[in-house]
């Protein structure tokens, strides 16, 4: 997890550059929901890194943003793996990316892992809400399964 200013600053710079690259590469395409979601996730991650640098507390509202970003990133990674299976090939985290799809998958895996650790740490700050957090998590995954099942039926 990114914890020190020495590890956070370069990551913030990279994420900022990556956002600009995504915007630049696809600027002629027009508004695209998936690209907008990816940029939103990257911005939340970058904002979280800024908050860590400033040692700001994690509020319940910010925890909700982290949860949302982590879930969107995980869904994006799932879709990437399904739609770009050939481009991803046998690549795995730790391997050097040979194409844009592998590079994006690597960024998403690192981002998801880091956000997950942040979420777990933040939830520990609110021990009286553990059941609420668990109920919300279970509700989200029940809804996700229902949507996936409906997609299979269609």
pLDDT in tens, 48-66: 999 999 999 999 999 999 9
Structural domains of the chain sorted by starting position, each given as residue range(s) with its CATH number in brackets: 5-127 (1.20.1440)
Q: Is the model's pLDDT at 32 over the cut of 60? A: yes
- Burial track 102-132 (b if 16+ CB lie within 10 A, e otherwise): bebbbbbbebbebbbebbeebbeeeeeeeee
| pLDDT bucket at 1, cuts 50 / 70 / 90 | low
| Residue 36: per-residue pLDDT | 86
| Residue 94: per-residue pLDDT | 86
pTM (2 d.p.):
0.86
Number of alpha carbons in the 13 Å side-chain half-sphere of residue 60: 7
| Residue 35: per-residue pLDDT | 81
Sequence-distant contacts of 127-131: CB under 8 A, at least 24 apart: 129/60
| Residue 70: per-residue pLDDT | 95
Spatial CA neighbour of 47 closest among 66, 30, 64: 66
d(CA 107, CA 90): 17
| Residue 87: per-residue pLDDT | 92
pLDDT, tens digit (0-9, with 9 covering 90-100), for 61-100: 999 999 999 999 999 999 999 999 999 999 988 899 999 8
d(CA 116, CA 12): 18
Mean pLDDT of 35-58: 93
């Amino acid at each position: 997890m990114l914890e020190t200013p020495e590890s956070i600053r370069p990551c913030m710079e990279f994420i900022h550059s990556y956002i600009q690259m995504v915007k630049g590469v696809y600027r002629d395409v027009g508004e695209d929901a998936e690209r907008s979601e990816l940029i939103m996730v990257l911005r939340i991650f970058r904002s979280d890194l800024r908050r860590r640098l400033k040692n700001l507390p994690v509020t319940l509202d910010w925890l909700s943003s982290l949860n949302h970003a982590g879930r969107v990133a995980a869904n994006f990674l799932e879709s990437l793996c399904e739609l770009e299976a050939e481009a991803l090939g046998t690549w795995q985290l730790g391997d050097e990316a040979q194409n844009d799809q592998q590079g994006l998958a690597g960024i998403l895996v690192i981002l998801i892992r880091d956000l997950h650790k942040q979420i777990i740490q933040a939830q520990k700050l609110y021990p009286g809400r553990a059941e609420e957090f668990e109920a919300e998590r279970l509700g989200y995954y029940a809804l996700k399964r229902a949507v996936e099942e409906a997609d299979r039926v269609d």
